[in-house]
Structure 1
């Protein structure tokens, strides 16, 4: 018998190392797959539909939300983003683990969904606010205005750390990656995630009965 798949939620303020740690996790276990989000924003030049995002219209997205077909969704800068329910449910039933790179609001919606029992939520903290800002600047990807905005949002994002099952402090990338792998390995081994255990224990009890019957004869 196969265990149900996990929904592994990773959240953090921008610059705390979430994306890098997610890649480390997939390097450790290539069977892990990111949930492919749906969005109403137009595709960028290098993006491939169905690989990076499921691109759709506002009307179609809103219809999916109304029909309960989104596990979580949000509107960001005038565009919708969300996680379609059907492929995630199929992965759970097939025993495949799905990785979500989402904020605390999306994580909260998934934890409150019908798949909440399959969620493992992990929040990643920076070692300090100074280190967080330094990492954002070293990426050299954002303008000063964008960095200022990310830093302003970081405090609110960090305030939700206690809502998560696990919290990692990313002081050292290699150490944090090993801790993340340990969490996933442990969650996979939890008793309630191993449906074959009941049958296995019944088999052990049957062996006891057989041995006792043999001893009596």
Structure 2
């Protein structure tokens, strides 16, 4: 069980909100801008620690979990992922020893082969800080490959394919959502039928905000 309880801050986004996310299930959060979609992901990802209420991972309260331990369990893919001033290979592996076979498999799955073919030293090419020579879509593909190689049990996606065309977006989102042993919570403004069918539940935050108490 992965419950979230987030309620009553100085300027609360939600009142008496109770969300339960089951392990290995797939959830999609929808709603208007400022509905609280990214806030929920930031809370789950540990980026917001100053809140009222209670968040638990399994039976452990978040205030008992270190940032390091959360990072080992959660991958957070955002619209503008960070690119390190290091080789593309290091950006994918973060310096960990990973087999060439596994790296190449993920490169193919995430559609990075064309990018690598254009780089002067291929996967060993050093990227500029924040990937200045890369398009937004290329950075998002790198982020997907990096997090798939990290292989955490929980994935948070916040408009993580916003810079990609429809077909590429569906391909990458499907790649994560079809991993049976992973918990996925995904935020999107453009919910496509092909992706909606892969979710265990679609949560419309507009409806939740219009209630004084919601239990999902």
What's the TM-score once normalised by structure 2's chain length? Answer: 0.38
Which structure is higher in helix share? 1
What's the TM-score once normalised by structure 1's chain length? Answer: 0.38
Report which structure shows greater RCO (CA 8 Å, sep ≥6): 2
Rg (Cα) greater in structure: 1
